[in-house]
């Protein structure tokens, strides 16, 4: 098998058996990137010399020894650009490693390449990047999803074996579905956010995208755990998330939330998802219909809370301490206004304005406080459901990859791309998207994602279920022929 087509765990075996040297792996990736990156445009930056240096020093006996992993450009890697795909940070270089990067390095991994994204993680198509859009490897005229679209496209096009992304409302799972790879959003607090440039602090969570569920489990083993630098990280015992992968799903109860099967889902997506659910039954799972009655409020609640937090978090980007700054300002107010006007893109400005509005005097109680109350009701819906089932199953996205530019002038339609992923972040639970088939649209064969949702801190069980489905379904062998 061609070296770049291996999964992370297959590559690990070759490195540990000395069949392959880490330098060969980096060189193979660089050759692949040179071939396809002009078409896919998944990356913003890479440092080949540094990657080769780390490869020559790699200890392949470590859990991730010698394995290269691409990094979303919102996560600090010391000395590397960290632009968040925004003009305002185009000159910024990370002065330290994020905790997840320090832990990857401690496990022997090699951070290699910075992946494109929607600016400040605000978007569902990767078109909000200040530098360029990323193209879906299955059809270069279509979006890879967002905001971690560069990470998903890099994995799907074999420019990366695996990547880190961040998920605020579906930004790992939705692009994983649209690009035909696996994407895991861990429980809120399972993985430190220290060193992740914040979008919405109560929703953001770092997680892996990869070619298999096992690969995601391997990465989660390395990056999970309490971090004194992040007060929201959970102090829970360390786990081996690979330990139950082979147990299958026989005897488990999987809930089908009726609110996630609604009008407007692409018929081919619905057909693929229903076949995936039937396969779960054939694997021995008991399927149970459940209700999450407050799901209909999730999108509205999310775009109040997320924009409110974004408004506060992005106030620090003022051109004083780092990033670009307006030239020859008349005064301090002019400096702030022009720096932010010139540095932020349209979608970021839209969300800052909306967030500032819902936090303003006279509207705080009517919007922000009410949204927090409904968020509690959404969390209770999940808690009630998980008293009766081990996991939930539903579509990841209502559509396959849509055409680039198709929704840029229709923000509401764009926001609805995350309708099945947002509630997971509001509730703080874990979720994973795995490939479950294809739809044919205008002659293009496009991936469909099946989403499993697990209760808080039940990643081990969630990964077990996803792995059982993945191995039985066999979709992992399908690759984009770019």
Does position 1 have pLDDT exceeding 70, yes or no?
no
Beta 444-454 vs 68-72: how paired, if at all?
unpaired
Beta-strand runs (E) in 211-305: 253-257, 286-290
CATH number at residue 228: 3.90.1300.10
Torsion angles phi and psi, residue 43, rounded to 5: -115, 155
Q: What pTM was computed for the model? A: 0.97
In a domain, 204, yes or no: yes
Residue 471 belongs to domain spanning: 3-258+383-477
pLDDT score recorded for residue 404: 96
Does position 422 have pLDDT exceeding 90, yes or no?
yes
Q: What is the dihedral of CA 17, 23, 28, 31, to 10 degrees?
A: 180
pLDDT score recorded for residue 476: 76
In a domain, 96, yes or no: yes
Per residue in 130-169, pLDDT (tens digit) is 999 999 999 999 999 999 999 999 999 999 999 999 999 9
- Bigger pLDDT: 409 or 379? 379
Instruction: For helices 48-57 and 22-40, give the axis angle rounded to 10 degrees.
Output: 160
Per residue in 183-207, pLDDT (tens digit) is 999 999 999 999 999 999 999 999 9
Q: Kindly report the average pLDDT of the chain as a whole number.
A: 96
> Residue 338 and residue 383: Cα distance in Å, rounded?
46
Q: Which of 189-203, 235-249, 302-316, 405-419 has the lowest mean pLDDT?
A: 405-419
pLDDT score recorded for residue 44: 98
In a domain, 102, yes or no: yes
Beta 430-441 vs 444-454: how paired, if at all?
antiparallel
The total domain count for the chain is 1
In a domain, 227, yes or no: yes
In a domain, 51, yes or no: yes
Which pLDDT band holds residue 257 (cuts at 50, 70, 90)? very high
In a domain, 281, yes or no: no
Per residue in 51-79, pLDDT (tens digit) is 999 999 999 999 999 999 999 999 999 99
Containing 331, the helix (H) or strand (E) segment is: none
| CA neighbor of 129 nearest in space, from 140, 145, 108 | 145
Does position 319 have pLDDT exceeding 60, yes or no?
yes
Which pLDDT band holds residue 408 (cuts at 50, 70, 90)? confident
In a domain, 264, yes or no: no
In a domain, 67, yes or no: yes
pLDDT score recorded for residue 361: 84
- Catalytic residues, by residue number, are 72, 147, 171
Highest mean pLDDT among 400-409, 448-457, 472-481: 448-457
């Amino acid at each position: 098998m061609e070296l770049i087509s291996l999964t992370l765990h297959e590559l690990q075996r070759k490195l540990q058996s000395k069949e392959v040297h880490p330098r060969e792996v980096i060189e193979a990736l660089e050759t692949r990137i040179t071939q396809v990156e002009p078409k896919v445009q998944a990356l913003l930056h890479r440092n080949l010399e540094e990657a080769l240096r780390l490869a020559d020093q790699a200890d392949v006996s470590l859990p991730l020894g010698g394995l290269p992993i691409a990094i979303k450009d919102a996560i600090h890697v010391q000395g590397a650009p960290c632009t968040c795909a925004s003009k305002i940070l185009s000159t910024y270089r990370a002065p330290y490693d994020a905790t997840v990067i320090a832990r990857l390095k401690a496990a022997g991994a090699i951070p290699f390449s910075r992946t494109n994204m929607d600016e400040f993680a605000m978007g569902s198509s990767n078109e909000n990047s200040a530098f360029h859009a990323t193209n879906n490897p299955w059809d270069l005229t279509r979006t890879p999803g967002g905001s971690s679209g560069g990470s998903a496209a890099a994995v799907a096009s074999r420019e990366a074996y695996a990547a880190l992304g961040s998920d605020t409302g579906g930004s790992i799972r939705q692009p994983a579905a649209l690009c035909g790879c696996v994407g895991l959003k861990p429980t809120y607090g399972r993985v430190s956010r220290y060193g992740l440039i914040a979008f919405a602090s109560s929703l953001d969570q770092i997680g892996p995208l990869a070619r298999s569920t096992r690969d995601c489990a391997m990465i989660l083993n390395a990056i999970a755990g309490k971090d004194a630098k992040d007060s929201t990280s959970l102090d829970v015992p360390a786990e081996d998330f690979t330990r139950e992968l082979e147990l299958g799903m026989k005897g488990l109860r999987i809930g089908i939330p009726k609110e996630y099967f609604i009008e407007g889902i692409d018929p081919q997506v619905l057909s693929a998802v229903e076949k995936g659910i039937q396969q779960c039954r054939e694997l021995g799972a008991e399927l149970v219909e459940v209700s999450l009655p407050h799901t209909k409020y999730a999108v509205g609640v999310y775009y109040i809370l997320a924009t409110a937090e974004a408004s506060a978090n992005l106030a620090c980007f003022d051109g004083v301490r780092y990033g670009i700054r307006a030239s020859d300002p008349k005064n301090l107010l002019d400096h702030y206004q022009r720096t932010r006007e010139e540095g932020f893109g349209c979608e970021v400005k839209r969300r800052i304005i909306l967030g500032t509005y819902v936090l303003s005097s006279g509207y705080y109680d009517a919007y922000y406080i009410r949204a927090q109350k409904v968020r509690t009701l959404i969390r209770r819906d999940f808690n009630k459901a998980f008293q009766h089932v081990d996991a939930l199953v539903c579509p990841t996205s209502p559509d396959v990859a849509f055409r680039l530019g198709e929704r840029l002038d229709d923000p509401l339609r764009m926001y609805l791309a995350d309708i099945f992923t947002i509630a997971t972040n509001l509730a703080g639970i874990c979720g994973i998207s795995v490939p479950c088939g294809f739809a044919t649209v205008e002659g293009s064969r496009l991936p469909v994602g099946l989403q499993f949702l697990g209760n808080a801190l039940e990643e081990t069980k969630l990964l077990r279920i996803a792995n059982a489905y993945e191995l039985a379904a066999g979709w992992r062998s399908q690759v984009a022929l770019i």
